[in-house]
Amino acid sequence: MMGTLSQKVAIVTGAGRGIGRAIALKLASEGARVVVNDLDAELVDNVIAEIAAAGGEAVACAGSVVEGGFAERIVGKAMTRWGDWHIIVNNAGYTWDNVIHKMSDEQFDAMLDVHLKAPFRILRAAAEPLRANARAEAAENRRVVRKVINISSIAGTMGNAGQSNYASAKSGVIGLTKTLAQEWGRYGVTVNCVAFGLIHTRLTQPLGTSQSSVSIDGREVALGIPETTLAAARAVIPLGRGGTPEEAAGSVYLFCLPESDYITGQVLVCGGGFG
């Protein structure tokens, strides 16, 4: 498949549904070969089938991003199949909210593990093949630009009541992004961050409209937001609505384009004007 990302290899975590799925499909539609990850192997297979039906190429890497050895496994999938990686999108995650006086250590640590430690481990695992390939490219006088896009949230840029764990992790993602932008610039890697506002997914659905909870890493996590909270959120968004997963994917795609090759260490807020 030809496109702006033809022959690029992209790793996308949390790509079985919602924003991650939209990102994987968008990158594949532009020619990228995609390593698709999700907790649910069936969802991974569904996304791979969608990509294949559209003429693209993808490989599965089901499993939890917080598992020991996962980072090496997902980077290894890209290296074994295609010998390189060009795009990494650290998207996997969920929310587990509570006010601070009711929040357990487990709740706090779970958000740090999935939103901050997992991206750190994946990028650490990607470092050695990056360095080896970058050395070979320099010896051949070839310039290859690679892209890392970490996913944050306006909770990470502004804070959000009831989300001290999530906001702390997402704020940490910004620090990780800015640090890696400085470390990996010498290898021709741009490292940027997209901070999402209200994007309509199963995590932000109105309460009572679909399933009320989901099991993630052995924990039962509530889904949905009260309609009154959603209405209040929409009221402060200049565009007057939440975004779609496809619009969220578009903001990630901007950082994958060759036109963004001289932009690094930045945080793009995708929030309809809020944040």
pLDDT in tens, the chain (275 residues): 789 999 999 999 999 999 999 999 999 999 999 999 999 999 999 999 999 999 999 999 999 999 999 999 999 999 999 999 999 999 999 999 999 999 999 999 999 999 999 999 999 999 999 999 999 999 999 999 999 999 999 999 999 999 999 999 999 999 999 999 999 999 999 999 999 999 999 888 787 676 677 888 888 878 877 888 888 889 999 999 999 999 999 999 999 999 999 999 999 999 999 98
CATH for 161: 3.40.50.720
- 24 in Cβ contact with 15 (< 8 Å): yes
Classify burial at 35, counting beta carbons within 10 Å of its beta carbon; exposed 0-12, middle 13-18, buried 19 or more.
buried
Do the domain assignments include residue 2? no
Confirm if 251 and 192 have CB atoms less than 8 A apart: no
In a domain, 128, yes or no: yes
Catalytic site residue 166? yes
Residue 227 in any domain: the answer is no
pLDDT of res. 210:
66
Sign of the torsion formed by the C-alpha atoms of 38, 30, 116 and 69 = positive
Name the burial class of residue 198, with classes exposed (0-12), middle (13-18) and buried (19+) by CB atoms within 10 angstroms of its CB.
Answer: buried
- Residue 229 counted as domain residue: no
The predicted model scores a pTM of 0.96
pLDDT at 227: 84
Distance between CA atoms of residues 207 and 168, nearest Å: 25
pLDDT of res. 137: 97
With respect to residue 236, please indicate whether it lies within any of the assigned structural domains.
Answer: no
Among candidate residues 94, 166, 187, 253, the one labeled active-site is 166
Q: Is residue 214 part of a domain?
A: no
pLDDT of residue 156: 98
Q: With respect to residue 238, please indicate whether it lies within any of the assigned structural domains.
A: no
140 within some domain: yes
Range of the domain at 249: 9-197+244-270
How many structural domains does the chain have?
A: 1
Q: What is the pLDDT of residue 215?
A: 83
